[in-house]
Structure 1
Amino acid sequence: MTLTVKVGEAKTHLSELLAKVEAGEDVVIARGNEPVARLVKATDSTERRRMLDTLRTERAQRSKVGADEIQAWKTEGRR
C-alpha cells in the first residue's frame, strides 16, 4: 500500500513514516498535489550484493562493444 503525505507532514512525522516504511509500506512525499519523492524500505546488504553479482555476471557474458559500433549508434537515423 502507498501512503501520500505533504512535505510539512513528512517533516513533522518523519519517525512515524519511517516506521511504516520499515513495515513494508511505501510513502510518497508530495509538494501540493505533485509527488516529489518516495520512501521505500532499503534492501539489505546481502540482497544488494547478490543483485550486483548478477549484473556483473550478465555484463561479463556480453560481447565487447568497439568505438566504431558506438559511433554507428550515435549517427544512426541521422540524415
Structure 2
Amino acid sequence: MQVTIHAAKTNLSKLIELAKAGEEIVIAKGKTPVARIVPIAQTRFRIGLLKGRIDSNAPDFFEPMDKDELDLWEGKV
C-alpha cells in the first residue's frame, strides 16, 4: 500500500496496525516513495533465562559485608 505524507500523518495509527498485520506501507512524497513503515520483531522476555548457567559460587550481594571488607570499601584501611 502506498500513501502520501499527508495521508500517513492523518492515519498513522491505522497504518501502524496494518504494518503489524503484515501489510507493507510505503509513504510517498507526491508519487516518489520516500519511506516505509515496517513492524519491529517482538521478542518475549523470559524470567530465569540464565537459570543453571551461572556459577553458584558467586557472591550474594544481599548479605552484609564483614567489618574488614566494609572498612576496605569505605577506605578505612
Per the normalisation by structure 2, the TM-score is: 0.53
Write out aligned runs for 1:4-23 (5 A). 4-23=2-21
Task: Please report the RMSD computed on the Cα atoms of aligned residues, expressed in angstroms.
Answer: 1.2
Structure showing the higher helix proportion among its residues: 1
Equivalent residue number for residue 71 of structure 1: none
Q: Measure how far apart 1:17 and its partner are.
A: 0.3
Distance in 2 separating the partners of 1:37 and 1:43: 18
Q: Percent identity?
A: 43
Per the normalisation by structure 1, the TM-score is: 0.52
Write out aligned runs for 1:1-79 (5 A). 3-45=1-43
Q: Measure how far apart 1:26 and its partner are.
A: 1.0
AA matched with 1:12: T
**Considering only CA atoms, is the larger Rg found in Structure 1 or Structure 2?**
2
Q: Is the 8 A contact 1:21 1:39 kept in 2?
A: yes
Q: Is the 8 A contact 1:4 1:30 kept in 2?
A: yes
Runs of 5+ in structure 1 lacking a partner?
47-79
Distance in 1 separating the partners of 2:26 and 2:35: 6
Runs of 5+ in structure 2 lacking a partner?
45-77
Q: Measure how far apart 1:45 and its partner are.
A: 3.7
- Structure 1 runs (4+) greater than 2 angstroms displaced: none
